[in-house]
Amino acid sequence: MKKIFLYLMLLLTVAVSCKKESALNVDITKSNLDTYTKGTLDKWLEDNFLNPYNMEILYRFDRYQAKIDKEIAPVMEDKVQPLMEGVQQIFIQPYLDVTSKAFLLPVLPKEIALFGSGEYSDDQITLGTADAGRQINLYEVNSYDKNDVLSIMGTQERPAAFHTMHHEFAHILHQNVPVPPEYEAISSNYIGSSWVGSGNSAATAKSLGFITRYARNNKDEDFAEMISTLLVEGQDHFDAYVNTATDATAITKLRKKEQVVVDYFKAAHGIDFRRLQARVRTAIETYAPVAIVPVPTRLSQGSYKGVTIDKSAASQSSAFVTAYNSAVTNVGAVNGIPINPTVELVFTNPAVNRTDMILKFTGSTFAFWYNLTATVTTGNSGTIRLVAAPQGAATQYANGTFIQAQMKPILDYFTTKTFRANWIEGLFPGSRSTLLGFFDTSNSQLGFYGNVQR
């Protein structure tokens, strides 16, 4: 079972007390389980969930589907289909795409119960629960808005319905095949219900190798949080989280957990986790384009360590190739060093600095480095501009300075242009999140591209 706890803050006023009341915007008469008549929504739910998956969607208010000692509100009927369309596209369909109906039917929950509000009590709120692999409860349906990014993606402290859905299904999966013992061995800082305490800040949890504060509850919640975060928030979000962890031990733990998750899906359920992850990401961006985070924003967040560029790869621009070849010819003629056709453009330390970059060439047994300063503007129209910076003291920098005059054509190419970064799946289908292109803003043409380093 999953519980997301949040502190509720009360604002007290001493001089004046004012109470504003309004009618509850839910027609309870339509929710009477004894007298209701099925309508078009019921037919749609039967056609899309009950008939194909033997999954019943419970949205009419039934107090006994949740704990009777908790405060909870019924569902607004017009919120049900939009949310369940998302569940169908972002949860069910990606699993169908990478497995089969034969695999999915036995493990899908047989009931999804919807509630208008969270399940409140004292200082906590429950956003989702899973009961013995048979039923999943989803809360706060009345606040769902497909066009609001927070409804789709939520936040680290308050995840949204699709994170909750994948989290709860992860529990169902590990109830069938247990969490591998090596996963629990990675972290020993589980603290149970004390995870809600002020001593377990988001920064503290991250420094200990946990993906969220809630992951410190126990190994099962840690495992489910890793799965749901990797699937819903996505690899770019996870990489930014890892790359900006300042504790090397935390980085190691998070990467180990990631690998256990990938291996578990393959060994326990025969699922290619990376394919599933890609299907979920595509589904989210198709269902709600507002959820797309532009590449320049990801660059500024530290999602990527850098990019490896192959001059010989197909579709590199003639301007880039010409500048590269000219530099190679110059170095060969003057210094006799054969410069390799690949180059790396990397952040010096994405954990704390997404401004300083190094342009790395190799040739023979030598490395040639050039320091650059990156200016990244965020958003869909964001750009990246590189300018030369003072060289460092390491031998690689001395090597770079030694042939700097000969390398001028390619160094000028990188440092005199402004680029717009984006994925190039239109050029290479299936390469999204793998091949990153840099488009010359002076002509909007692809200048160069390479494999993202994570």
DSSP character at residue 86:
H
pLDDT digits (tens, 9 = 90+) for 319-377: 999 999 999 999 999 999 999 999 999 999 998 889 999 999 999 999 999 999 999 99
28-292 adopts what CATH topology? Answer: Collagenase (Catalytic Domain) (3.40.390)
CA distances from 24 to 21, 28, 120, 184 (A): 9, 9, 17, 45
Q: Give per-residue burial for 257-270: e unless 16+ CB within 10 Å, then b.
A: bbebbbebbeeebe
For CATH 3.40.390.70, list the domain ranges present in the chain: 28-292
Which residues are CB-neighbours of 195 under 8 A, at least 6 positions away?
A: 5, 205, 213, 214, 216, 217
Q: Answer whether residue 181 shows pLDDT above 70.
A: yes
Percent of the chain with pLDDT over 70: 87
Please compute the mean of the pLDDT values over residues 84-97 and round it to a whole number: 96
pLDDT digits (tens, 9 = 90+) for 219-256: 999 999 999 999 999 999 999 999 999 899 999 999 99
Give the pLDDT of residue 23: 46
How far is C-alpha 379 from the chain's CA centre?
17
pTM beyond 0.85, yes or no: no
Phi, psi values for residue 446, rounded to 5°: -65, 125
Name the residue among 215, 213, 138 with its Cα closest to residue 169: 138
pLDDT digits (tens, 9 = 90+) for 191-205: 998 998 989 999 999
